[in-house]
Amino acid sequence: MNPDYHSRHDGDEYGEQICSKVIRAGKRTYFIDVKATRADDYFLTITESRKKVNQDGSASFSRHQIYLYKEDFAKVMEGISEMVDFVKEHKPEYFENNNHQE
């Protein structure tokens, strides 16, 4: 298994976690998780976690999450691919030397 991926089997109320990928991007961290239902159907959760510094100096995190189900994998991947290709064509500098990171 690629060292960038983490495999766990700790079930929770949203399904058994099979595999996880963490992507750190400046103040944001993205988690892409493969989970399994009780019927062993896989689905993805995509979570954006954003660090906020409070006025008292303490840190908190806001979190946004979407669920992507197996019947939608192909359509969503096609849409994402089309949009990334569009950005690559119109803003190629976003893809050079990790220039897009904060």
Q: What is the SS3 string spanning the chain?
A: CCCCEECCCCEECCEEEEEEEEEEECCEEEEEEEEECCCCCEEEEEEEEEEEECCCCCEEEEEEEEEEEHHHHHHHHHHHHHHHHHHHHHCHHHHCCCCCCC
Global model pTM greater than 0.95: no
Domain ranges of the chain: 5-72
CATH classification code of 5-72:
3.10.450.700
Mean pLDDT of 85-102: 82
What are the tens digits of pLDDT across the range 29-81?
999 999 999 999 999 999 999 988 889 999 899 999 999 999 999 999 999 99
